[in-house]
């Protein structure tokens, strides 16, 4: 029986191909749970009154690492179920803030898809743009992953 939702195999990917994930709205409970779990107990994230007088932006800021984590969840649920083997590295550039109530999605472009030297596995590098509801890129990152090959 075929398992539904299986991700991409590296050897099915074409350099230049582009994909878009579904979106997700960042909630206050996302921010509170993340910063509490991570120990990022800054007043900027936890104290509404402090934010009123000390924040550099309007709204309840979401940590960039939370936004990245949610973006990775959106990405992996759509592309890597059962085929993603390892996250190897990335470069990341935070372009603008995300606040509670913003909705993000990820736009991916395949930059590299090639066989590794030691197996049928492949290395895949993508350019991932995390985009808000206004069409603004908030984070750009380029992860490289080890991915499974399509079974013979």
82: Cβ contacts below 8 Å, ≥ 6 apart: 3, 5, 6, 7, 148
- Domain range list for the chain: 10-27+61-147
Asked if residues 88 and 146 have their Cβ atoms less than 8 Å apart, the reply is yes
* Fold topology of 10-27+61-147: Thiol Ester Dehydrase; Chain A (3.10.129)
pLDDT of residue 1: 77
62-80 burial, b for 16+ CB within 10 Å, e for fewer? bbbebbbebbbebbbebbb
> Using one digit for the tens of pLDDT, what is the confidence trace for 103-152?
999 999 999 999 999 888 999 999 999 999 999 999 999 999 999 999 87
User: First-to-last CA distance in the chain?
Assistant: 16
């Amino acid at each position: 029986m075929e398992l539904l939702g299986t991700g991409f195999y590296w050897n099915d990917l074409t350099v230049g191909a582009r994909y878009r994930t579904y979106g997700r709205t960042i909630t206050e409970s996302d921010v509170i749970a993340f910063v509490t779990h991570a120990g990022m107990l800054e007043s900027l994230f936890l104290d509404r009154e402090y934010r009123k007088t000390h924040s550099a932006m309007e709204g309840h800021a979401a940590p960039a690492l939370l936004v990245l984590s949610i973006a990775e969840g959106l990405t992996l649920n759509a592309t890597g179920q059962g085929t993603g083997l390892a996250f190897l590295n990335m470069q990341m550039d935070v372009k603008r803030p995300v606040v509670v109530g913003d909705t993000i999605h990820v736009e991916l472009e395949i930059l590299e898809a090639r066989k590794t030297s030691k197996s049928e596995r492949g290395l895949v590098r993508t350019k991932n743009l995390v985009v808000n509801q206004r069409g603004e890129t908030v984070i750009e990152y380029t992860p490289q992953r080890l991915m499974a090959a399509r079974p013979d």
